[in-house]
Amino acid sequence: MADDDLLFMPATRAAALIRRRDLSPVAYVDAVLAAIARAQPVLNCFVTVDEEGARRDAVAAERAVTSSATLGPLHGVPVHIKDLVDVAGLPTFHGSAIFSDATPAARDNVLVARLRAAGAIIIGKTTTPEFGVKGLTDGPSFGTTRNPWNLERTSGGSSGGAAAAVAAGLGPLGLGTDGAGSVRGPAACCGLVGLKPTLGAVPWDTARDSFGNNSYAGPLARTVTDAAVMHTILAGPSAQDPWSLGRTGGARPLSPALMGEDLSALRVGYIPRCANPRVAADVATNTRAALDAWAAMGAKVEEVTDAIDWIEYEGRVLYQANFSVFCAPFLPQWQNRMDPVTLAFMQRGADFTLADFRNAEFARTRLFRAMQALFELYDVLVTPTMARTALPADFDAANDDVIIDGEKCGITRQGWTSPQYPFNLTGHPAVTLPSGVGDDGLPTGVQVVGRWGAEADILRVGALLERARPWADRRPVLPSA
């Protein structure tokens, strides 16, 4: 098998070949590590590559196959982890110079432990902007992570390293985190599937405020099946996450309307825009093509005309005020080495009052109830994932205006990623799927949002789109370093 075919093979297919002894985990890991060595100088998507550990685990995985041991669903499959999540024996830098001397983690995060228990081989840590603060992946401590489809563009953020790596064939699965769209945005920028689960479905037991949490962990993958398998592995309660304890047994079974390929019983609510003033014409065209594909299967597609307060301002209050408080202790020593975007968000967050913050929390509840009312009318909601394709890699996320079809549309959260953050706040599951290619040759994405606990539904809707409009065979071509 050619290395290129191996690198772009779905994780589930690779795992099946390994179980059948048709693929060596050692050869697989060696091929991925060699590809990382070639691509890293071009993409800059890893902060740590654990060659020694990955090869050791690959040898153990091969031994387990030959000894007919019980094998997990990802046995022998290379997976990388965003550098906000602890991996035993590797440092966690959080994308920040503040942690440049971090000692190796003593133990795996619960999600990494679950991946290992499923047979995955952890090959390294992928880049993230400082504390995952923005929608592009760059920073003073590690440089700029680039989009494999166009090196002058961003891979998105804050799971941009994971998205660039998966898109470039540097491991079929990446674990990302999503505090304001940070799985879905990079996935859309790089032509991938990215899933933000229901609040509590996958534990996030490192949250500083567990009860007010709006951050999630989820997969970045090239196929819906790979994302679904990884999500199933990650899901389940953790004693350290109260939302996950409350979700025990809470996943909804697949809706009967989605059991087959006739979607006549499926009601789709199409939301063309959230708080963003514009959507690029090519993104809108590709979103409509996805809707048409579902309609051709029988789905009833209806534009949502309800006036919805997407609480863009209140969402900004919650986001920036949290960073202001969390990062304040670092300022005396580290201010001159922190990302200017982090500092700008902190300053804006410091200007909000306690009343602003509490009113924003009240607004979060209102938004949740507005979405619940929509789900009385529709089975799923559909939006563009991003208002345009990937921004320039040197875009200033704190100050630059997003330009769409020649018009200024505000900073990133207002003009570019607006459809994502509302569902961090409401807790509903959301998946981004490739919807096509923009006029500039870069990927576009469509987002499907479901009822609480309905990951199975939105993944099934995604799988039907993948069958109708395949995307996984598209591969970027990287220049030599």
Q: Which residue out of 24, 155, 159, 182 is catalytically annotated?
A: 182
Tokens matching residue 228: 């679904």
What letters, b where the CB count within 10 A reaches 16 and e where it falls short, cover 286-323? bbbbbbebbeebebebeebeeebebbbebbbbbbbbbb
d(CA 320, CA 234): 28
Reported residue count of the chain is: 481
158 is catalytic: yes
Q: Where are the alpha helices (DSSP H) in 235-393?
A: 242-246, 281-296, 312-327, 331-334, 340-350, 354-374
What does the DSSP assignment read for 160-178?
A: HHHHHHHHTTS-SEEEEEE
Helix (H, G, I), strand (E, B) or coil at 109: coil
Q: Which residue out of 24, 82, 196, 255 is catalytically annotated?
A: 82
96 is catalytic: no
CA angle 401, 426, 261 (to 5 degrees): 95
Q: How many CB atoms lie within 10 A of CB 10?
A: 19
Q: Which amino acid is at 223?
A: T
Distance of CA 50 to the CA centre of its chain: 22
Q: Which amino acid is at 182?
A: S
Q: Which helix (H) or strand (E) holds 189?
A: helix 184-190
Q: Which residue out of 96, 141, 158, 255 is catalytically annotated?
A: 158
68 is catalytic: no
Active site residues: 82, 158, 182
